Amino acid sequence: TTPIYYVNDRPHIGHCYATLVADVLARFQRLIRGEPMGGAAFSLDNDVFFLTGTDEHADKVVTSAAANNATPQQWSDINAAEFKKAFAWIGATSDDFIRTTEPRHKDKVVAYIERLMASGDIYKGEFTGWYDVGQEEYLTDNAAREHEFKSPINKQPLVKRTEPCYFFRLGKYQEALLGLIQKADRFRVLPDSRRQEVLGRLKPPAEPLRDVPVSRPVTDDPATQWGIRIPGDPAHRVYVWIDALFNYLSVVDTAERRKFWPASVHLIGKDILWFHAVIWPALLLALGEELPRAIFGTGWWISEGQKMSKSLGNFIDIDTLHRYAAWSPNKDALPLGVDALRWFLATQGPLSGADTDFSIAKLVEVYNADLANGVGNCASRVGNMIEKYFDGVVPDPRGATAHTPAGHTVFDFAVLCDRALQGAIDALAEFRIDAALQQGIWLVGQVDLFINHTRPFTMAKEMDKVRAEGDSTRAAAMREELGRILYLCAEAVRIASLLVAPAMPEKMNQLWRTWGCLPPTGVALADLAAFGGSNGLQPGAQIAKGGILFMRADPKVPPPSSPV
Ligand code: MSP
């Protein structure tokens, strides 16, 4: 799952990033299970269910709707459509898109609240506290003091509020949560830095968890009327965060979809870790539901060295992303493309570490290194040599999977490909999509190294010379060796292409079509990636002349204009 996004505004890079990370993960998992095309064709035993959506009952949605002369519902409709469009453009293969204003969600939320009221986990009381208006959350007294009564996020003054209110007995679950997070088997908080962050707030000497408000009052002010009503007490509505968290369960809480609970992973940004690693699992414990297997908290993108802000002019909204993808970094007018942008975001993003800077210079650098000079160049070199020396017919390695270039150690591509595949699978177990994708680049690097050592183009020239001199036996032996080398290269590139495809589905499809190796649906990755296997490049098959995948960026071409 991804977080569900507030619809007070249009999508930006942060939203696209969270959904992209989930998409790469979903595509990888489908590939592992044998659904390489993702999305459209689903087999019954396919375990992947990828959920995204929008969080619509926030007060800031009411505010920005009013500022735009729209009702909250109209404004939500407009922006939810923008999110759907943005995610379609970025190529997200989500299986469902939940809007919290949909009856299928609202009805379930009411039922969950009723269950929690019946069990006594939700009760009525009165609340006074420091409220962060921008984040729509109360801070503990300690946290408020620590931040000098200002929002730690937007630095606006906190507001002191008292209100009758429904509470959730969070305190009751502190010990259970602490145990679960420490044990990290049924419920993992990842990466470890985020886990430590949560543990630090759960373990003594941290102040004991207080029960948390789960409602907001409803008054005559229309601004307070947006949201799901507390069952049996229409003077209160469900706090937007509680409403939102329930989306993960409400969507799959049907007869056909129940098998998808518990979620494998909730991918989130670091700012919403507390809600996901503490409040949400406590609610689930109270409901007697299983906990998600993992919460993975990513860092944030900053832009050109600073926190994104509209006034600084470094804000990367969806239109800016469109412009970057449409920009051609060379004079040949081949645009950078969505796949290159996906690649950059997925491999260079703040996945598990510190906040990461988005800069055009870095985008171009990575594009050249990994794609134009990496995968793209290697695939086209290999394809062109097969075209030139073997008329585009895949040469026969006669069972060989390894070759030892003169004066070097052996390149055993069966072993190298296996190592890359295993590396990717291991990385995915920790949700490291960046490290998983880099396995493909590593493999391409091995092919490049092999080409540098074997110099097939020099070999081809020598072969022609030997043949011209009349030594046809030797020429034939050289041709066989050349064929074996090129087969090893091509087959390794094919396997590398599988490992980068979750980030670059369009471009890898283009390669697979030209090489005639489109992965058939229903074959698991382990079989697809078996070197020289029945799903591999077949000796004797014809490969077509390929178009260019990625055109090298020319440093003389000016970068696209600044974000705003
Ligand atoms: N609606 C809540 C989430 C509810 S989930 C049950 C929310 N929405 S949000 O639209 O404000 O943010 C959604 C996600 O985008 C969060 O995970 C947040 O961390 C992420 N990002 C927002 N800005 C970001 C960056 N600049 N970089 C990366 N991700 C960022 O919070």
Q: 75: how many CB neighbours lie within 10 A of its CB?
A: 23
Peptide bond into 262 cis (omega under 30): yes
Instruction: Taking residues 65-85, report their average pLDDT.
Output: 98
Which of 16, 55, 101, 238 to mutate for ligand 1's pocket (most ligand atoms within 8 Å of CB)? 55
Q: How far is the CA of 491 from the centre of ligand 1 (A)?
A: 41
Helix (H) or strand (E) holding 487: helix 472-500
Whether the predicted pLDDT of 546 surpasses 90: no
| Collapsed DSSP state (helix, strand, coil) of residue 162 | strand
Q: Looking at residues 507-518, what average pLDDT do you find?
A: 95
For residues 385-414, one letter each, b for 16 or more C-beta atoms within 10 angstroms of the residue's C-beta and e for the rest, the string is: bbbebbebebbebeebbebebeeeeebbbb
State residue 33's pLDDT score: 80
Ligand 1 mutation pick, 4, 12, 15, max ligand atoms within 8 A of CB: 15
* pLDDT, tens only, 434-467: 999 999 999 999 999 999 999 999 999 999 999 9
Q: How would you write 94-147 as a 3-class SS string?
A: CCEEEECCCHHHHHHHHHHHHHHHHCCCEEEEEEEEEEECCCCEEECHHHHHHC
- First-last CA distance in the chain: 30
CA distance 495 to 517: 10
Sheet of strand 96-99: strand arrangement: 4-6, 51-55, 96-99
| pLDDT for position 42 | 35
Name the pTM for this structure. 0.93
Average pLDDT on 210-224 reads: 91
Q: Give residue 36's pLDDT band: very low, low, confident or very high (50, 70, 90).
A: low
Mutate to test the pocket of ligand 1, among 83, 272, 309 (most ligand atoms within 8 A of CB): 272
How far, in Å, from the CA of 60 to the mean position of ligand 1? 14
Q: Report the run of H or E that residue 6 belongs to, with start and end.
A: strand 4-6
**195 in Cβ contact with 189 (< 8 Å):** yes
| DSSP reduced 3-state for 461 | helix
**Residue with the two structure tokens 């909204």:** 317
Percent above pLDDT 90 for the chain: 86
Q: Which residues line ligand 1 (CB under 6 A)?
A: 3-6, 14-15, 17-18, 55, 244-245, 268-269, 271-272, 300-301, 308
Residue 155 has pLDDT above 60, yes or no: yes
Q: How far is ligand 1, taken at its centre, from the CA of residue 324, in Å?
A: 22
The SS3 of residue 303 is: strand
Neighbouring C-alpha atoms within 13 Å toward the C-beta of 550: 29
Tokens read off for 186: 């049924």
Atom number, ligand 1, closest to the C-alpha of residue 3: 5
Atom of ligand 1 nearest to the CA of 268: 17
CA angle at residue 51 from 48 to 52, to 5 degrees?
A: 150
Ligand 1: distance of its center to the CA of 143 in Å?
A: 21
Which ligand 1 atom lies nearest to the CA of residue 280?
A: 6
Confidence label for 310 from pLDDT (cuts 50, 70 and 90): confident
Q: Give the Å distances, CA to CA, from 263 to 12, 241, 260, 564.
A: 26, 18, 6, 38
Nearest Cα residue to atom 22 of ligand 1? 14
Q: How far is the CA of 18 from the centre of ligand 1 (A)?
A: 8
Band of pLDDT at residue 49, cut at 50, 70 and 90: very high
**Residue nearest (by alpha carbon) to ligand 1 atom 21:** 14
Q: How close is the Cα of 266 to the center of ligand 1, in Å? A: 12
When pLDDT is averaged across residues 53-80 and rounded to a whole number, the result is 97
pLDDT by residue (tens digit) across 94-152? 999 999 999 999 999 999 999 999 999 999 999 888 999 887 778 988 899 999 999 99
Mean pLDDT of 311-321: 91
* pLDDT per position as a tens digit, 248-284: 999 999 999 999 999 999 999 999 999 999 999 999 9
* Atom number, ligand 1, closest to the C-alpha of residue 270: 19
* Nearest-atom index, ligand 1, CA of 58: 1
pLDDT of residue 562: 60
The mean pLDDT value for 178-192 works out to 97
Write down the residue that tokens 């598990």 correspond to: 352
Q: How far is the CA of 57 from the centre of ligand 1 (A)?
A: 15
CA separation, residue 242 to residues 247, 285, 564 (Å)? 9, 14, 35
